[in-house]
Amino acid sequence: MSELRWDPLKQHWVIIATERGRRPRDFQVEQESRQMTSCPFCYGNEDKTPPEIFAIRPSGQANSSNWKVRVIPNKFPALRIEGDLNKRGHGLYDVMNGIGAHEVIVETPDHHRGLGDLTPSEITDVLRAYRARYLDLRNDSRFRYMVLFKNHGTTAGASLSHAHSQLIAVPLTPPVAATELRICRDFFASKERCIFCDLIDFELASGERVVKEFNNFVILTPYAACFPFELRLYPKKHSHDFALMDDPMLGELAVALKDMLLRLKTVLKDPPFNFILHTAPPLHPRLGKPDYWGSIAYDYHWHIELVPRLTQIAGFEWGTGFFINPTSPEDAATFLREADA
């Protein structure tokens, strides 16, 4: 029988349609091949992109070809860094200028290697670039939140096949993040515990949805997964801020992230996916709320969400806010756990 499951963090219901029982082979997505005569993210085409903001390279000048990871402004940004917010009312509506930052992290100079194909050392360099850009953008008091995400595959929104991720800084806290932050704050105020730590302890004890456990990280399928083969990667020890991790911890995270990506690639034949890094927002003071971020170091827990794009949102989902997942998280965890990563 199908089950309705409640997600206490995202505050929504999910229908786990176990009677449909879809297996990995039912989700094979045909890969689109793109013909590109010249990729702007490849070696030698540095002049085809805006000047770099940050790079990891063994030697050489900025914007030269000798790089491992390169961060550039998005050529067609959703938000621009220049200007003032100018918040204002418009009748019953609110409006402000499109101020923010939109950056692209080019993960490798090799056009034919995805993030999961890189070595742990190379993935560590990508994570170091993430950390560096988070720390820099937080210095701008206009920015309330940073969203680090990766689109892999055309269906997931990737316009270029060369491995890259994106970082967008926005001048307000997005509703999804605001809900999660509020839930964490309220839970801690009531119980003086981190809701994520409780969740991780429960899942480790249960084991049903554990895909892989490392010394300091764990990969899980969420209990109320909205989509088939949805995954979470958590630090096992409490940590609210990804950007505070040192290089050795980034190195272990790189091993866990590679493992997660390779298991997904093996089981689902390299599906399109999105992943999002959720971490603490910049702790800029809030007018009239001096203690607004007072407990965040104790109540929040950074994590990575990964969603394979295997199903579509249709009328029922839009009309109700419920999601229908045809593969139980327990079955997905089993398939992924048994894969050779």
Give the C-alpha separation, 281 to 283, whole Å. Answer: 6
Question: 116: Cβ–Cβ under 8 A, 6 or more apart, which residues?
Answer: 257, 258, 261, 262, 264, 265
Task: Determine contact, residues 132/54, Cβ cutoff 8 Å.
Answer: yes
Residue 102 falls in the annotated catalytic set: no
Residue with tokens 């940004």: 77
CB-side neighbour CA atoms (13 Å) of 135: 12
**Residue 189, both tokens:** 């105020």
Measured CA angle at 139 (ends 137, 144), to 5 deg: 70
**Which value, to the nearest 10 degrees, does the dihedral of the CA atoms of residues 138, 126, 229, 176 take?**
10
Q: How many CB atoms lie within 10 A of CB 282?
A: 18
Give the C-alpha separation, 286 to 243, whole Å. Answer: 21
Buried (b) or exposed (e) across 200-230, using 16+ Cβ within 10 A? beebeeeeebbbbeeebbbbbbbbbbbbbbb
Q: Which of 307, 334, 309 is nearest to 23 (CA)?
A: 334
Buried (b) or exposed (e) across 110-141, using 16+ Cβ within 10 A? eeeebbbbbebebbbbbbbbbbbbbebbbeee
Which is catalytic among the residues 164, 278, 301, 303?
Answer: 164
Describe the strand order of the beta sheet including 3-7 as a list of residue ranges. 3-7, 12-16, 323-325
**Residue 81, both tokens:** 């860094």
Give the C-alpha separation, 69 to 107, whole Å. Answer: 5
DSSP helix, strand, coil percent of the chain (3-state; round to 5):
30, 25, 45
Active-site residue set: 164
